[in-house]
Structure 1
């Protein structure tokens, strides 16, 4: 008798043990991906550097030393100095803050624009869907980098204007993905059930559909951050990005590329920082995409 009771109790508890959510399974799969974990660690370190740049930088990024111009890496200056004798390590640390701010800030604007447009297009359908889809197609036809340069020429250089320019041009992809998810989810049984219980348009969209469409949105944001960082670096490289003397990795590469044969450290170290950041976000984004894929177990 006791064995039968124990078997019944075990059968009742077994679904609880095995029950897990998509996000919990995703975290478990993400932890098994070594490249994604390595990328996540580098991203975490970059965030720490960006937040505590004022304490980690050995010198202010504007402090000059005209007696030690273009000095190679040494004990006093681990990464050397630039054309004005400024410590390259300190400027790279502050440059990490600019890059992370641009990456995260631009994606906030992208999500605020792209997700509502995609959700409304997919849920309402009809003429609204046709109009919004054509609008998305028109925006998608513009070469993004050239469009960003045009906007920056109109708005002027500066961190806030970079947010706006990248945000206004980068929402197209996430809008398309959100529309596709909403189109598939709005015909599901749980949406019909919520509608039958009296849920209105806003409640259906915000409480039932969008939470189930978060997976591709999260993946798109993960890949959008390095794209925004690279765009900022390209803008600063050609001189329409961050205003000097605020340091930016792209700006540092642009200023030092003409001296690469004589003072190699001026652009090599910022270039390595950009490459490491891009690779880290790419590895982490690939890992998040694979981890949140419901087809994988």
Structure 2
């Protein structure tokens, strides 16, 4: 009998989850900007995976005979002052941006979620210490801290990823803590405590499943933020070391030549801007779709 009831409950929960996902998708697809953004984000991810294999040239290949060549059939996005094919540079930059931004967001998210859960569940001195640390992270210029870490540990892919990741967790921690505080005295949690459940079990079984929607929205907003930080580091000369391409490097290098060779700025800046807007549209669409007070 107990096995039957457990199976029945699992079936009911699975049906409920499918119904909620269907409802969320119907809400999401009503927002045409969010749908368009999702299409671009999926394309961005695909290009980030296969970009180096479909690029016409290697990112470091130079051809001085075609330096500053305007867009043409041979070079659809033109070339820069060293003869680098701009299309190839952008395809490689997408992969670098994807790896660093997604990796940094994941690092920030893991740190923030762990600390936020601990602060919300533990309370007392632990909560006070973690929240004062969060206040410090918000008060201290994160971009300045990014620069310090990059100067200290280098301008490689992993150091930049970690520099962005370990300075961006405070917002996630504050969000998760506030959500946990609203649920930790609820009936389900109190019943689990009465039955002797550990904090880890309560967090995994009752708290995390109920904050997934808010976490997804926060992640969607966090990725374009980290993309912007990565580009900002490159603009001030602390991004990826050349010849590794990045959107920030290309935009910074095009600044002094934009009047004579406008394609050096327009193509990388255009792709970068559309990508940022697409992630923001997706985040906005998720926020509307996962809102439990939303209608059909």
TM-score by length of 1: 0.91
Q: 2:200 aligns with which of 184, 197, 202?
A: 202
Aligned residue for 1:169?
167
Instruction: Give the C-alpha shift of residue 17 in structure 1.
Output: 9.1
Distance 1:17 1:130, change over 3 A: closer
Q: 1:246 aligns with which of 244, 247, 258?
A: 244
Aligned residue for 1:184?
182
Distance 1:22 1:101 in 2: 31
Aligned residue for 1:270?
268
Q: 1:257 aligns with which of 255, 258, 261?
A: 255
Q: Which digits, 9 at most, give the CA deviation of each residue in 1:31-90, with x for residues without a partner?
A: 221111100000000111111112221111111111111111111100101111010001
Aligned residue for 1:231?
229
Instruction: Give the C-alpha shift of residue 94 in structure 1.
Output: 0.6
Q: Which digits, 9 at most, give the CA deviation of each residue in 1:141-171, with x for residues without a partner?
A: 0122222112212222111111111111110
Instruction: Give the C-alpha shift of residue 236 in structure 1.
Output: 1.1
Distance 1:281 1:146, change over 3 A: same
**3-state DSSP class of the match of 2:65?**
coil
Contact residue 121 and residue 199 of structure 2 kept, 8 A: no
Distance 1:153 1:18 in 2: 50
Residue-pair matches, total: 282
Distance 2:272 2:141 in 1: 22
Distance 1:249 1:269 in 2: 10
Aligned residue for 1:95?
93
Contact residue 230 and residue 274 of structure 1 kept, 8 A: no
Distance 1:123 1:23, change over 3 A: farther
Q: Which digits, 9 at most, give the CA deviation of each residue in 1:209-235, with x for residues without a partner?
A: 112112221111100001111111111
Alignment of structure 1 residues 27-38 onto 2, 5 Å = 27-38=25-36
Aligned residue for 2:215?
217
Alpha-carbon RMSD: 1.6
Contact residue 159 and residue 241 of structure 1 kept, 8 A: no
**3-state DSSP class of the match of 2:254?**
helix
After the TM superposition, which of the residue ranges 91-100 and 145-154 deviates more from structure 2? 145-154
Structure 2, unpaired ranges of 5+: 1-13
TM-score by length of 2: 0.91
- Computing the radius of gyration over CA atoms, which structure comes out larger, 1 or 2? 1
Contact residue 194 and residue 204 of structure 1 kept, 8 A: yes
Distance 1:153 1:267 in 2: 27
Aligned residue for 1:54?
52
